[in-house]
Structure 1
Amino acid sequence: MKKSTPRKVRVQSQPLIAVRDVRASSRWYQQLLGLSALPEHDHRDSYDRILSDGHLILQLHAWEEESHPNIVNADAAAVGHGVLVWFEVDDFDAAVEQARSLRAKVVEEPHLNPNAGHREMWLRDLDGYVVVIAGPEGESA
């Protein structure tokens, strides 16, 4: 029997979180991650995209807008229980400084994760999602 060669598949994560104020959340993530503002668009109160180097890294969608399944009834469950919004950043120290300037609620202060060999800081965003900023993998090696 002839073995088939697996085809090359490109997959890119495009996470979407539901938020109470899309504009405020967009500003918060842009400031935290050192990204510039995106051009204004008519849909911005309901939906926005956060890009880094032209790549989509996070989508923000208003609760109760457009009747999408699973982003209705914001008070039905704990915000993001079991979900971590995780970002690897090139300049960990700058991201920590930005988090502090935003007065983000800190869940875990900056620390070394010995398993990944990088530094991490865990915090909460404006809606209560847990956000992790991490230095490049293996940076402490």
Structure 2
Amino acid sequence: MQPQPLIAVTDVEKTSQWYQTVLGLQSGHGGKEYEQLLFEQTMVLQLHQWQAHDHSYIGEPKYVIGNGVLLWFESKQFDEIVKSLQAHHVEILEGPKYNPNAHHREIWFKDLNGYTLVVASPYGDI
């Protein structure tokens, strides 16, 4: 089994472009209502427009976005991603820092929708 998280967003195309520009993901579907974002031909994130397709369990945008859920990515391109986050003036919440419990580096930040993301280097990278 492989996770394929889906987040609800107001503007799928704008959000897709943000993830492509900032994290280097690629569009695997494209569209105004739904998108699949890929890394090395593997889907790592899905975007879904809040009201599209009558999915009653996606939630409501009026509530806190992503409360209690983090989008966590491991990447061998950690240093490049940190530079990209800084270059695009992304809201950094914490880091970059070394996590001695996990023996890797982490950076915590917000996407343009308010979701919290973490990018971590591979376990034991330092």
TM-score bracket, normalised by the shorter chain, equals: over 0.9
> Contact 1:22 / 1:48 at 8 angstroms: preserved in 2?
yes
Do structure 1's residue 63 and structure 2's residue 50 form an aligned pair? Answer: yes
> Contact 1:85 / 1:131 at 8 angstroms: preserved in 2?
yes
Unaligned runs of 5+ in 1: 1-10
Q: Which of 58, 62, 66 is equivalent to 1:80?
A: 66
**Secondary structure at 1:137's aligned position in 2?**
coil
> Contact 1:30 / 1:37 at 8 angstroms: preserved in 2?
yes
The percent of aligned pairs where both chains have the same amino acid is 42
Q: Which residue is equivalent to 1:13?
A: 3
**Secondary structure at 1:90's aligned position in 2?**
coil
Distance 2:24 2:53 in 1: 30
Q: Which structure would you say has the larger Rg?
A: 1
Q: Which residue is equivalent to 1:23?
A: 13
Unaligned runs of 5+ in 2: none
What do you get for the CA RMSD once the two structures are aligned?
1.4
**Secondary structure at 1:56's aligned position in 2?**
strand
> Contact 1:64 / 1:72 at 8 angstroms: preserved in 2?
no
Equivalent residues, number: 126
TM-superposed deviation, 1:74: 0.8
TM-superposed deviation, 1:37: 4.4
Distance 1:72 1:81 in 2: 12
Q: Which residue is equivalent to 1:89?
A: 75
Do structure 1's residue 106 and structure 2's residue 92 form an aligned pair? Answer: yes
> Contact 2:4 / 2:46 at 8 angstroms: preserved in 1?
yes
Distance 1:35 1:17 in 2: 15
**With structure 1 as the length reference, what TM-score do the two structures score?**
0.83
Q: Normalized per residue, which structure has more helix?
A: 2
**With structure 2 as the length reference, what TM-score do the two structures score?**
0.93
Distance 1:74 1:67 in 2: 14
Q: Which digits, 9 at most, give the CA deviation of each residue in 1:31-80, with x for residues without a partner?
A: 222234446x5xx10000001111110000011111102224310x2100
TM-superposed deviation, 1:102: 1.9
